[in-house]
Chains A and B, each alone.
Chain A
Amino acid sequence: MTSCRVIVVGAGHNGLVCASYLARAGLQVQVLEALDNPGGAASTIGFADGYKVSGLAHILHSLSPKVCEDLDLYNAGLTMGLSLQTISLDQKGDHLQLGENTVSGEGLTEKDIAAYADFKRDFRGYARALEPLMMNKPPRLKDMDFPDKVTLAKLGWKLRFGLGKSAMREFLRVGGINIHDVLNECFDDDRLKGAIAVDAVMGHHMGPRTPSTVLTYLHRLRGEIHGPQNIPQGGMNQVVNALVKSATDAGVSIRTGCRVSRILVSDGKAQGVELESDEQIAADIVISNADAKTTFLGLVGTQELDAMFAHRIHTTRTAGDVAKIHIALNSLPVIKGLSIEQLGQRLLIAPGMRYVEHAFNHAKYGEYSENPVLEITIPSLSDSGLAPPGHHVMSVCATFAPYVLKKGWDGNRSQFLARVVAVVGQYASGFENQIVASQVLTPADIETEYNIAGGHWHHGELAIDQSFMMRPVHGTAQYDTPVDGLFLCGAAAHPGGGVTGIPGHNAAQRILAMNEE
């Protein structure tokens, strides 16, 4: 049996971030990855002969600048791309173009244009007020330690004095309600409301009318505090490459293609891991980048856990709702009124809030949306290496496609793909005939291929009862777990998913702080 000071299970971006921090602090770290390549959801995959695309995450919203600087990612090859606009498609060609503070499009009133600037300013303010919660472990409400008190004090200060009295009052009013009501208060144009609502519901089992969709919207919006959404030069994989370089430079060893089958626990303490090959590796600290269900119920096993803790992990909501669809095209799609440059932006098909809500209705009853909400990028426009010359790849996040489909996904992937193609075809005439190849990754497929229970974007629903000091469940919300020496560092931990690096950063800080004690 070999041994190592620290083992990180999973080379997703958070696993790499965590490993890199710990190695920089002088710990001997080994990362074990089941797949053949590191990077998890941000890695590039080939889905048809000659066509490649980023497997799951296709836009960088909020990679933490602190992580980029601490880990020297810019010198490791990461260059942020140009700011991506969001373009909400309209069948008549009256598309809306949404920037950070400005919105433009045929038929928009001056009132809505002004309201958009106000809305974004206010909501970025709320997101900024919540920032103290992000880069720290979420404070416990009972038995707080000093850092927890500092975090809460900062949060209180930011809410009261950062926002000011009336903005704080407004934040407390809208914080727990749904985005549907808020957007109806702010705007008249339904296209605009639909486009904003997408950011509140995509990746969640929520429609615009679902309570707490303001919080999920803020979770998405917080990236804008630090910089615009973009596709890094060279694609999402460049984030992975930079993290791998940063980590290996710091001394981390990364082993791919070795699946961890068990986290070894005895006497209440993590002792190491066992690989599928029966090889055992001893370690003082085991850090899991996997989701909570995979970590506790799969790798640790209920035998080593208290019954109610295991039950609470088991009952967390982890069923994903977004399918990732990859389409190889023999030429660029033609969308009326869009230039080639505009085609390279983030395209949305969500022509109204009612459209989004109706799409969600199907998911409630275990069906895929008849008219799904789509987020589309054509990454081959910025990275020509992804497709043969003249050809293109389209990357689509399609919601709602529930993890548990009532009629089962087997044999129904192609039906859902047909719906997606038909919906895109309503905006891009002749689209169907341009398709050379395609791939559908339902949440069930994502679970199998990426080892994420439920195939959920965030390793678990980002609802209030599964957030902050209750993420993934209370008792393991500060990255440490009931098993001594076992930690969580992935999206299942606070503050959740997205390519942010924050859970990995926070977990590393927590481990180092506990090591000092």
Chain B
Amino acid sequence: MERLEAHDFNEVLQHSPFHARADNLCKLKNWTSWNGYQTARFYDTLASEYFAIRSSCSVMDMTPMEKYRISGPDAERFLARLVTRDISKLRVNRVTYVLWCNDDGKVLDDGTIFYLKDGEYRLCSQHHQLDWLLISSLGMDVTIVEETREVAALTVQGPTSCSVLTEAGVVGLDQLKPFRIMHTNLNGFDLMISRTGYTGDLGYELWTDPDNALELWDSIFDVKARGLYDVRPIGLDALEMVRIEAGFIMPADDFNTAETTVRADHDRSPFELGMGWVVSFDKGHFTGRRALLKEQGRPIRRRLVKLMIEGNKPPKDSFLYDRQDGRRIGTIKTNIWSPILKANLAMADIDYQNGSPPSEIWAEIYYQKELEWRATWAKCSISEKPFWSHPRRSATPPLPY
């Protein structure tokens, strides 16, 4: 009831605690909804935001990210049974990437587990998962609280992110290793920082009480005002570019999440997403284990792959074939032009034959020239590694760029 009363029904999209600043800097007012929050697709130009992430320092409001507080005597047992990955070695103040499946071993969502303190975790997910978490909590002494609104979060990413945050007043950040958490105090308020991100580059995620949100934003942008480093707010579109470069999957964009899938066989298992490395069969039972064990014994039928497409024509939503005018073997799900690699990159769903990828992949690309449609063929190649990565992502301390 309290939540209902707190909600203004005239407000179609919610404002994050950073909204006053974001609204001020968002020149194009190109808003969209992210989990019900008014979120910028971009602030001024996509190129400047992209290069802020790759060459300087970017700031993005990630408050809309779904966040759940999981606590109680069975919290670890609950999470171990929820996710496919072995989390028994996760220590306090560390973060791990996980995904979770339904009974059929099909992926519901992915996210990160933050081990905050003994018996207390935060689970961040791409999509709303409260119902699944509650269903999974049957018979467990665990408390699950959605805390999306109770935590303000910013992600600060890019080569100079460590330098910027240090200038903003964070002490000891250069010693923070990847996937670790530190608690600090900035201008008198508590701030939690994790060295995590969705860009494949050096970066941090900052978590605090919504009351401190504007102060946090201001102390970061003050570094720019002082003329020390460039700092730019970025929107969802720039993030989409760097996450594909880094090879991170996006549930519901790259593949149908199991919960939203209606048609048979339109959902995907972790193996089919190339995420077999987060499935551990020797850690005890987890939801979907039986189905995944069975699937593991059979040759894989298809996979979400990282695909590099020759040429400069954008392969948006392209069908994929085993040769020019050949048999259709897949579809491009998401694609970008990578400015740093000067290449067309995509996430694509591809049929495998007898457990092996096709020997050739061709994309049929439709594109316009001065309002006239044309078609062309482009050869594609699968990239097993992330398209782009940089040693500074994992270096501690990161070099002072």
Contacts and interface: CB of A to CB of B under 8 A. Distances in A.
B293 A268 contact: yes
B138 A482 contact: no
A305 B285 CA distance: 7
Nearest to A298: B139
Interface of B: 77, 81-82, 102-103, 132, 135-136, 138-140, 284-285, 287-290, 293
A141 interface: no
Contacts, number: 47
Given A268-B285, A297-B138, A302-B140, A307 B132 contact: yes
B285 A314 contact: no
B291 to A, nearest CB: 8
For the complex of A and B, 6 pairs with smallest distance between CB atoms: A302-B139, A306-B103, A307-B136, A307-B287, A306-B287, A308-B103
A165 interface: no
A19 to B, nearest CB: 27
A24 to B, nearest CB: 32
Given A306-B287, A307-B136, 8 more contacts: A268-B289, A268-B290, A268-B293, A303-B140, A303-B285, A307-B81, A307-B132, A308-B287
B295 to A, nearest CB: 14
A309 B289 CA distance: 13
Interface of A: 265, 268, 297, 301-311, 314, 475, 482
A311 B132 CA distance: 10
Does more than half of chain A's interface fall in helix, strand or loop, or is it mixed? helix
A310 B138 contact: yes
Among B139, B287, B288, B290, chain A packs the most CB atoms within 10 A around the CB of: B139
Contacts of A310: 138-139
Contacts of A306: 102-103, 287-290
Given A306-B103, A308-B103, A482 B290 contact: yes
Nearest to A475: B103
A314 B140 CA distance: 13
Nearest to B281: A267
B91 to A, nearest CB: 22
A302 B289 contact: no
17 contacts: A268-B289, A268-B290, A297-B138, A302-B139, A302-B140, A303-B77, A303-B81, A303-B285, A306-B103, A306-B287, A306-B288, A307-B102, A308-B135, A308-B287, A310-B138, A310-B139, A314-B138
B140 to A, nearest CB: 7
A307 B135 contact: yes
Contacts of B103: 306-309, 475
Contacts of B284: 303
A310 B285 CA distance: 13
A184 to B, nearest CB: 41
Contacts of B287: 306-308
B136 A297 contact: no
Contact of A297 (B132, B135, B139, B289): B139
B102 A308 contact: yes
Nearest to A310: B138
A311 B81 contact: no
A482 B102 CA distance: 14
A423 to B, nearest CB: 40
A306 B138 CA distance: 11
B82 A307 contact: yes
A301 B141 CA distance: 13
A103 B136 CA distance: 54
Contacts of B290: 268, 306, 482
